Amino acid sequence: MNGFNEIYFLHNPYFSRNHMIKFILFPFALILCIAASAQPGRWQQKIKYTMNIDMEVNKNQFKGKQTVEYWNNAPDTLHRVFFHLYWNAFQPNSMMDMRSRRQGSITRRDRDGNEIGDWDPRVQDRIAYLKPDEIGYQNVTSIKMNGRMQQTKLHETILEVILDKAILPKTKVVFEMEYDAQVPLQVRRSGRDNPQTGVRLTMTQWYPKMAAYDAEGWHPTPYIAREFYGVWGDFDVTINIDKSYILGGTGYLQNPNTIGYGYEDKGVKVNRPAGNRLSWRFLAPNVHDFAWAADPQYKHITRQIAGGPTIHVLYKNTNNDPKAEAGWKEIADAAVTVYPFIKSNFGEYPYKQYSFVHGGDGGMEYAMTTMLAGTSLGTAFHEWMHSWYQMVLGTNESLYAWMDEGFTEFTTNLIEEFYRKEMVKKHLSNNPAERNKSNSIAMNAKPRYHQSNYNGYLNLVRSGIEEPLSIHADHFNTNYAYSNASYSKGAVFLEQLGYIVGAETRDKILLDYYHQWRFKTPNLNDFIQVAEKNSGIKLDWYRNYWVNTTRTIDYAIDSLWETGGNTSLRIRNAGSIPMPIDVKISFRDGSSEWHYIPMYLMFGQKPAEEGQDNRKVYEAWKWTHPTYQVQTSGKLTDIISVEIDPSYRMADTDRRNNKLELKW
């Protein structure tokens, strides 16, 4: 291009040499302007932890040294950094303690009319009564950056490090830290001597963890109750502990043949070193957290998934309860059964192992592992699916808790149904005489997979205390509103998305979202962009109504009449969220028609779904208009029913006005 311009100007007498130079330079200037105005690409920080931990099990305390290599990939200069010290929350009068006690003073009525408190039953006011040897603490005694001591300021569960020299963009620094900690009596997630499980040590949120820094700045979120956000990186962790303790959790054990306890290679004779302690060394690549648990009475079983990870299950069963024993083994076997379904529908698990570990409370997800209080298979599936929507996608869970919990709920429901059908198949194959009996009916049943989540959302609406999904997880006024919003309303978001764009398209969206955004900490707008590109439908309206407001959906059959041999149906929007509408008209002769009305703001339409071959598509319903009219050539007296959304995927708050049955 530049050569062509130069030749042209040299042979054009109407241009002077100065003009020629200016016009030759213009393309370069234009390129520079474009480059200067271009938006910077998505960047994220990187970190590497190298830890050495000395655990004193008799004192429930440990000392640690860690080197933190930190790459500032941001275009910003950092003058301070922040570390989480989560266990400082387990002290009387802490923010977690005060918030929990405050929740206990809030009451509401349950469905039976009984007045109940808003406690998190696991916490309640337990922290207020912890004794000095039962509290948790993390005390950083020394921190250096590139060999120089740094000034710090403690904000309870957040340690601010005021740097003596700023970290420039595109540079790396090394922090050296020394600290000591006391394992709290188990209250929430972490702790010792769990009263529910009997597990000695559940080591989660146990080390000084650097807070996340992204395009929105630092996220030094204090530990109040829930949800986390971390920096992608690598962990090299050595844990020195009493030789009788068995460990499980994040990472690949590097010295399995000197550790044993079920980790050793097949056929290898374990040769543990002399002394009373063992050093367990784990490597965990490209994760944003590290967790482990330990107990002298753990049992350890493994399963190898063909083309997938090794499954580790570590559990405690001191009473040799046969039911518990069978439950833990079923978790291991079920993981093998469901993984092909998970991989096909939601993407492959990117690590070489996953561990289900007895500990914590209920279930709590971490990188490459989960802590389980019991053998609930649904809980195990749910926690494993967090590996996809939190541990691999890495969304800021404090701001988008529902994009983790809700998406995990949605996928878990489908996995549970897949597993149920697989078990029916297995049962029938082992019992041929029953193949034509009631179990075959169960095999072919099509339940409303997500009904419990719809019920949770609708109960929240009726409670009158719903808050928008966009609220920070720690700042919901009630635990009830948070739980039903993040889990139930979040799951409904995806199932209802299938109603808007089509279920097959929604499934493609989920796979594409996972493959495009894994290890990149996506936000809601990133998901919406993937959904719009796959569906060809605008979805910003859905994001705004469903996430940023507490408005509700309510469509109603307004009237039905016949004129000149044709039957007209008027539909009314009695709610405050506009939606596309599926209407099914059923006739006496067993036939049916589908009438589909796109919503104006979609600027597109979903394809006909299964069973909707006889479908009539209308012009879009403008959201400003309260009613819309559809028409069929069938006579009124031939119609036996008219129904809005027979699939029940639209979260209509009053379905009593969705169906009209005509009994002639």
> In the chain, where are the structural domains located?
2-37, 45-231, 443-548, 555-661
Task: Give strand pairing partners of 238.
Answer: 52, 281
Per-residue confidence (pLDDT) for residue 165, from 0 to 100: 98
Q: What is the CA radius of gyration of the chain?
A: 30
Higher local confidence (pLDDT), 294 or 113 = 294
User: Is the fold of 45-231 the same as that of 555-661?
Assistant: yes
pLDDT band of residue 11 (cuts 50, 70, 90) is: very low
CA angle 578, 579, 581 (to 5 degrees): 135
Q: What backbone phi and psi angles, to 5 degrees, belong to 442?
A: -60, -35
Q: What is the distance between the alpha carbons of residues 496 and 540, in angstroms, rounded to a whole number?
A: 15
Residue 442: pLDDT above 80? no
45-231 folds as Immunoglobulin-like (2.60.40)
Element housing 282 (H / E): strand 277-287
- Per-residue pLDDT reduced to its tens digit, 185-206: 999 999 999 988 999 999 999 9
CB 367 within 8 A of CB 287: yes
Mean per-residue pLDDT, 366-374: 97
Q: What is the mean pLDDT of the chain?
A: 91
Residue 17: pLDDT above 70? no
Residue 237: pLDDT above 70? yes
Name which of 47, 79, 221, 263 is nearest 164 in CA terms. 79
CB 96 within 8 A of CB 223: yes
- 555-661 is a CATH 2.60.40 domain: yes
Q: Please report, as a single letter, which amino acid is at residue 436.
A: N
Q: What is the distance between the alpha carbons of residues 639 and 647, in angstroms, rounded to a whole number?
A: 19
Q: What backbone phi and psi angles, to 5 degrees, belong to 504?
A: -65, -40
For residue 509, give both structure tokens.
């969206």
For 157-218, the DSSP string reads: TEEEEEEEEEE-TTEEEEEEEEEEEEPPBSSSSSEES-TTT--SEEESS-S-EEPEEETTEE
Q: pTM of this prediction?
A: 0.91
pLDDT band of residue 399 (cuts 50, 70, 90) is: very high
Task: Give strand pairing partners of 639.
Answer: 587
Task: Give strand pairing partners of 217.
Answer: 214
Residue 8: pLDDT above 60? no
Q: Please report, as a single letter, which amino acid is at residue 324.
A: A
- Residue 448: Cβ within 10 Å count: 14
- Per-residue pLDDT reduced to its tens digit, 528-559: 999 999 999 999 999 999 999 999 999 999 99
- Per-residue pLDDT reduced to its tens digit, 250-294: 999 999 999 999 999 999 999 999 999 999 999 999 999 999 999
Q: What are the residues whose beta carbons fall under 8 Å from the beta carbon of 436, sequence distance 6 or more?
A: none
For 477-523, the DSSP string reads: S-HHHHHIIIIIIHHHHHHHHHHHH-HHHHHHHHHHHHHHHTTS---
Higher local confidence (pLDDT), 441 or 216 = 216
